[in-house]
Structure 1
Amino acid sequence: MADARPLDALRSTSSAGKQGTTAAAAVPKGAMFGGTRLVGTFFGSSSTTGTNWSCTGSVIDTPARNVILTAAHCAVGYSDNYIFVPKFTKGAGPDQQPYGIFHIQHIFIDPRYIPDKPHSSTKKPWSDLDTAFARVSANQRGQRLQDAVGGGLTFTRPSGYDNKNVTVVGYPGKDHNGDGRAIKCTVPTTQLAGFRQMSMTCGGYYGGVSGSPWITDYQDDARTGHVIGNLGGYNGGGNDANVDYISYAPAFGADAANLLADAVANQDPPSNLPPYHGIQAKLPGGAALWKHAKLLASGDYTGNHRGDMIVVWSDGEVTLYPGDGKGGFLAETQLKAPNSTWTHAETITGGDFTGADLSDLMVRWSDGEVTLYPDVSSAGMGKEVRMAPSGSVWKNATQISAGQFHNGKYATDLLVRWVDGELTLYTYVGAGTFGTENRLLAPNGTWKNATLLTSGNFSGNGNWDVLVRWVDGELDTYVATSAAGLGAEARMRDPDDLWTHDLVMTAGNYTPDNSSDDLIVRWSDGETTLYADTTRQKLGTENTLVYPGT
């Protein structure tokens, strides 16, 4: 099998004719080198002295310590007769390879990834799923993979498609790499238009490089690093001309994360996953527009007992997006055209403070005035009610969030985080009154770092919970908060640099379970995400509403 046809032959054809073009001449070219311990290639038998290595794989840091990453269009042809060889040395036998050889035990591929024909790639939307993981056996020395190489790459979801410095390491095939050396290139990435994929421009990436890790903090022979994608995707990871200097990679998201979890658990992915249709935003406008979504407020503004969302934009426009009850949205309604007044809205929340079974919108303005707009609907904002005058102490209210904190039927309570870290709960708020004031926390340094907060029923209790995003990206819920005090803290996510890019968030009832446990996040690059059925300690199923780079 060492002389079998390589599975990654798509770009093995020379593109020398293309290299003479101005575009090709201007692009950087990858550097050949001796390889790195966390990246290797594959052979179709236990022999490594043959000439037909195919595709590239990398070691992923997992509790199982035996998981590798490659491309799905490579892995569809693999079996337990295939081996993975980290930092492959051409001409050396199995016992002379730096870290030994590792037989593939089991392949994990998203069942929705469908190649156009056996052992090939695809140009269909599900090319976004061209990622595979495999578990491997111990090497001939009895070592597990990570123990042998001394580390592994950290699976990382990128914050967007545009990355300044990404290093791609792979093994071009023998037709362009007789010495069997690895290639590396560090370049910026952009989005492949219409796909959930990154694109890079660097020459020398011929057939064999499929599966190559895209690493954001690469160092030669490092024992760790962060990988955000693998070479593959549309047309197997290259453009229609199959040139060696254009390469693609699926950007890791929830699908790849779930697939990795299956590999770690050593269980096949579920066969009943919903069909994959590619990038189909559930909110109109694209990420460039949604970067300007300044404030979000959930509520039932249409009276159908489903979650709807109000958006205040940076230019003062206010729009209403009715929810469809299935995690998506119906056509938007403009409530306010762009204007100077609403550019001064600092924080907003939706609650049923007037008890009319239709949500109201409360706004704290930059001058300290607080106003309530009862019964907001597609017909308009409703008659304004002044809750606090201009120049009031409410200028120091950093965030406000409505909720049900007294085991009531409606969201008639208002949680306030003040600039000095004080936390106050106002129960039974109504038109013109803040009801009863309850101090939950005295001024303190800790809660000054509560960058964002929202309220929802994440724990299923009668009283709602408070969800906080801290300055370091940590997420916590405070379960069953009430006038008696802040609820018990439950860690949802450890400090995470990715979540420092969460700039706006709101929670509401957007999915069929009819509970206010769906979290919506607007990220710094404009991507907007819904986490359906979030619990007190775990983010719910991720649904992209607006894709980054679109």
Structure 2
Amino acid sequence: MPTSPTSRRRISRLVVSAAGTALLLSSGTSLAHAAEPHWSDADAVRFWTPERMASATDPARPAQPAGPPSPARPTAAAAAAMPTAQHTPGLRSVGTIFSFTTDPTTDRMRAHKCSASVVESPGHDLILTAGHCDGGKAVFVPMYTSAYPLDKQPFGFYRISRWYADNRYVHGTKKPVSDLDFAFGRLEPSESGAQAQDVVGANKLVRTPGYLNKVTMVGYPSSHNPKDQAVRCPAQTEALPGFYQIQAKCRGMWGGVSGGPWFSAVDWSKGTGTIIGNVGGYNGGGNDADVDWLTYSPMYGDWFFRLYEEAKSDHPTSHGTSYQQPPLPYSMGDGETWSHARLLASGEYTGDGKGDLIVVWTDGEVTLYTGDGNGGFTGERRLAAPNGTWKNVKSLTGGDFSGGTGSDLLAVFGSGEVRLFPDVGTKGLAGGTGLAGSGSVWKNAAQITAGGFGTGGYVTDLLVRWSDGEVTDYTGVGDKGFGTEHRLQKPNATWKGATLLAAGQFTGGDRWDTLVRWSDGRVSQFQDTGPGGLGDQHTMSSAGSVWSQDSVMTAGGYDPDGRPDDLVVRRSDGETGMYAHTGATFGTESMLVAPQ
């Protein structure tokens, strides 16, 4: 198996087991279908005794006994940092589905249990769950409480009279049609005549914004749950490669949580919130090889909202016989991969006026991420395969040194060699111009960063922090040499503790500013750095702060204004984010890569 970062980013490490038993819909069935007729609230109460309710299981995430760790389990460090689902009394708008249907092969009654949530509808009578949870004679119990029988539940129970599911979905599948694992159920009024939404409220459904989201998952595990209570877990989502789905890591998401909502916002006092996903999708939403910590959700796009509208209007329409995935949002990969990002360099490498990012990985691979001009990226391109040469690069920076249409890359190698690679977005990394040879004084250069430090409108100046703490500014650097050197700091112990440098136009002056992350975690900003000095120093973060986890950083112009004041940071756990419009304080943070 390839081991390069690019290969790792393109491999979905999913260990799967056989899908659980489920009711199947053929590709030709109607979108909506009625629940089994000839039963009443009284029938439900008689059948769903407390014992049967306690023994119900999820059809696609079957309960499995705890066993030895599977090969898919995370490392000890990653597991320790992973959130764990916590018991909660629940939300009044979220509950369980109990259903039973006749098994034609044995003529016995078969039960399963899933989670569901009440969602906004004109009739005040719709729930959302997973597609693999529909079918059969079913009841929805909001804020299910195991201490009470069905007819004594705090918010009652509601029979499901009609199901709405995409006819192309196949239960338990590991194929792209698992993107369609969502369904709606229409509820009958309670015995008192009340509609569910009027009793418990309703949740708002919105499009899944993208792959990276902060969510709170809520559901009712039917195994490994002695308290038989709801659980909730705050989690970070990321892409499920190759699928129009997201995934989240949280221990304790056992069978029974299928269909449970993923909230982007929730008001626990009101019992409702905004939903952007539900447990479902690949392999029925998880439980691969008895793994309780990796859970999936379909993304809510056009097909989801088409089904939602059809359910609200009770106007089912067949969605055809085949499913073609929509264009998948671009994903930069995961935290495990990005923990190997060793060096970053910002610039307009493609010459389109939008900020791009070059990454040097620990194995020597070099990739170029193309910016979209809105604080994100649209794709990646390999500039160099894993190799020994780029493994030996000590520091690098982007700049306008050669006068071409795109940014150039200046690299300092451990041997003391310095090479300038002009217009790398179009010319690549072949050759380059040597500015210093192996064994030169540049073997003592610890860090470099380019900027406009007072010599004009182009990024042609170079700030260097030497291993003995000396700091120098080279103005007018080009393909003919390093220009003019200016000493800004004599060798000193303080600057020996500077671990990271980044330059940008943070405070709006003609000269760029310099950010320094010190070994104790402090971050300082030196405003208006130039040939005459580093500028005024301001503290942005104190010692021991979260910035002690900052492993690599660079600054560039990644949003529409093009101003180089957007700070990109890779932390020790692989999480990579952008602080847009950084000034005297850090700007607005957005996540580019979720932590491992």
Under a length normalisation based on structure 2, what TM-score does the superposition of the two structures give? 0.52
- Contact 2:566/2:582 (CA < 8 Å) preserved in 1? yes
Q: Helix, strand or coil: the match of 1:364?
A: strand
Aligned to 1:547: 594
1:534 and 1:281, CA in 2 relative to 1: closer, same or farther beyond 3 A? farther
Contact 2:450 2:459 in 1 (8 A): yes
Question: Is residue 420 of structure 1 aligned with residue 468 of structure 2?
Answer: yes
Equivalence map 1:165-314=2 (5 Å)? 194-195=245-246, 197-201=248-252, 235=278, 280-283=329-332, 285-314=333-362
* Counterparts of 2:511 and 2:206, CA distance in 1: 49
- How many residues in Structure 1 have an aligned counterpart in Structure 2? 388
- The Cα shift of 1:211 comes to 11
SS of equivalent to 2:416: coil
Q: 2:36 matched to which residue of 1?
A: none
Question: What SS is found at the alignment partner of 2:501?
Answer: strand
CA distance in 2: counterparts of 1:310 and 1:455, whole angstroms: 16
Give the Cα–Cα distance (whole angstroms) in 2 for the partners of residues 337 and 43 of structure 1: 51
Q: Show CA shifts across 1:162-182 (max 9, x none).
A: xxxxxx9x9999xx99xx999
Aligned to 2:428: 380
C-alpha displacement of 1:295: 1.8
Instruction: Tell me the equivalent position of 2:16.
Output: none
The question of 1:438 aligning with 2:478 is answered no
Mapped partners of 1:204, 1:334: distance in 2? 41
Aligned to 1:459: 507
Q: CA deviation at 1:246?
A: 5.4
Tell me, yes or no, if structure 1 residue 536 matches structure 2 residue 584: yes
Unpaired runs of at least 5, structure 1: 1-11, 29-37, 45-52, 55-72, 77-89, 91-114, 133-167, 213-229, 251-276
Tell me the distance in 2 between the aligned counterparts of 1:200 and 1:121.
27
Shift of 1:400: 0.4
| Structure 2: stretches of 5+ with no match in the other structure | 1-51, 69-85, 96-116, 121-146, 148-182, 186-196, 264-272, 297-325
Preserved contact between residue 457 and residue 464 of structure 1 (Cα < 8 Å): yes
- In the TM superposition, residue 200 of structure 1 has moved relative to its aligned partner by 0.9
Quote the residue 1:355 is aligned against. Answer: 403
Answer with 519-528 or 188-197: which moved more.
188-197
Displacement after TM superposition at 1:199 (Å): 1.6
2:368 aligned with 1:320:
yes
Q: Map 1:64-143; keep pairs closer than 5 Å.
A: 119=202, 125=208
Say which is worse superposed, 445-454 or 375-384, in terms of deviation: 375-384
CA distance in 1, matches of 2:515, 2:526: 6
SS at match of 1:514: coil
1:248–1:417 distance in 2 versus 1, CA, 3 Å: same
Letter in 2 for 1:457: Q
State the shift of 1:407 in Å: 5.2
SS in 2 for 1:333: strand
Corresponding residue to 1:500 among 543, 548, 554? 548
> In structure 1, what residue type is equivalent to 2:344?
L
Structure 1 residue identity aligned to 2:524: D
Residues 286 and 294 in structure 2, CA contact (< 8 A), matched pair in contact too: no
**Equivalent residue number for residue 14 of structure 1:** 54
Separation in structure 1 between the aligned mates of residue 405 and residue 487 of structure 2, nearest angstrom? 28
SS at structure 1 position matched to 2:496: helix
Relative distance call for 1:124 and 1:247 in structure 2 (3 A) is farther
| 1:105-137, Cα deviation, whole Å (9 max, x unpaired) | xxxxxxxxxx989535979747986869xxxxx
Structure 1 residue 527 displacement after superposition = 3.2
Q: How far did residue 242 of structure 1 move? A: 12
Letter in 2 for 1:14: A
1:27–1:202 Cα contact (<8 Å) kept: no
Q: 2:65 aligns with which of 7, 25, 48?
A: 25
Change (3 A) 1:116 1:502: farther
Distance 2:518 2:407 in 1: 28
Q: Secondary structure at the match of 1:377?
A: helix
Change (3 A) 1:181 1:471: farther
Instruction: Kindly report which structure 2 residues correspond to 1:362-401, keeping only aligned pairs within 5 A, or say none.
Output: 362-381=410-429, 384-401=432-449
The one-letter code matched in structure 1 to 2:346 is: S
Structure 1 distance, partners of 2:221, 2:402, is 67
Cα RMSD (Å) of the superposition?
Answer: 5.2
What per-residue deviation string (whole Å, max 9, x for no partner) do you get for residues 59-101 of structure 1?
A: xxxxxxxxxxxxxx8999xxxxxxxxxxxxx9xxxxxxxxxxx
Q: C-alpha offsets along residues 509-549 of structure 1, whole Å, 9 cap, x if unaligned?
A: 111012011112223333332222222212334142x3334
Q: Distance in 2 between matches of 1:417 and 1:327?
A: 29
Aligned counterparts of 1:404 and 1:411: Cα–Cα separation in 2: 5
What is the one-letter code of the residue matched to 1:402?
Answer: A
**Matched position secondary structure for 2:337:** helix
Q: What is the Cα deviation at residue 373 of structure 1? A: 2.0
Q: Is the 8 A contact 2:279 2:285 kept in 1?
A: no
- Residue of structure 2 equivalent to 1:49: none
- Tell me the CA shift for residue 345 of structure 1: 1.1
In the TM superposition, residue 414 of structure 1 has moved relative to its aligned partner by 0.5
Q: Report if the CA contact (8 A) 2:58-2:256 is conserved.
A: no
Question: Which of the residues 563, 571, 591 maps onto 1:515?
Answer: 563
Q: How far 1:27 sits from its partner (Å)?
A: 7.1
SS at match of 2:371: coil
* CA distance, structure 2, for counterparts of residue 364 and residue 416 of structure 1: 11
Q: Is the 8 A contact 1:490 1:537 kept in 2?
A: no
In the superposition, the TM-score normalised over structure 1's length comes to 0.56
Aligned to 2:25: none
User: In structure 2, which of residues 361, 365, 383 is the aligned counterpart of residue 335 of structure 1?
Assistant: 383
Q: 1:382: how far off?
A: 6.4
Classify the secondary structure of the residue corresponding to 1:468: strand
Structure 2 SS opposite 1:522: strand
**Contact kept? 1:405, 1:464, Cα under 8 Å:** yes
Contact 2:89 2:229 in 1 (8 A): no
Q: 1:387 & 1:421 partners in 2: Cα distance?
A: 23
Distance 1:116 1:27, change over 3 A: farther
CA distance in 2, matches of 1:42, 1:183: 5
* C-alpha distance 334-354 of structure 1, shift in aligned 2 (>3 A): same
Query: What displacement does 1:436 show?
Result: 1.9
1:410 partnered with 2:458:
yes
Q: Judging changes above 3 Å, is the alpha-carbon distance between structure 1 residues 389 and 200 closer, same or farther for their aligned structure 2 residues?
A: same
User: Is contact 1:320-1:378 (8 Å) kept?
Assistant: no
Partner in structure 2 of residue 34 of structure 1: none
Q: Does 1:484 align with 2:541?
A: no
What is the distance in 2 between the residues matched to 1:476 and 1:445?
16
Q: Give the letter aligned to residue 492 of structure 2.
A: N
Write the deviation string for residues 144-175 of structure 1: whole angstroms up to 9, x where unpaired.
xxxxxxxxxxxxxxxxxxxxxxxx9x9999xx
Q: Which amino acid aligns with 2:391?
A: T
How far does the alpha carbon of each residue in 1:346-375 deviate from its partner, in whole angstroms, 9 at most, with x for none? 111111123345322111111111122233
The AA in structure 2 aligned to 1:467 is: L
Structure possessing the higher radius of gyration over alpha carbons: 2
Check whether the contact 2:212–2:239 (CA below 8 A) recurs between aligned residues.
no
Superposition deviation, residue 205 in structure 1: 10
Q: Which amino acid aligns with 1:201?
A: G
Does the Cα contact within 8 Å between 1:335 and 1:378 map onto a contact in 2?
no
How far apart, CA to CA, are the structure 2 residues paired with 1:204 and 1:374? Answer: 55
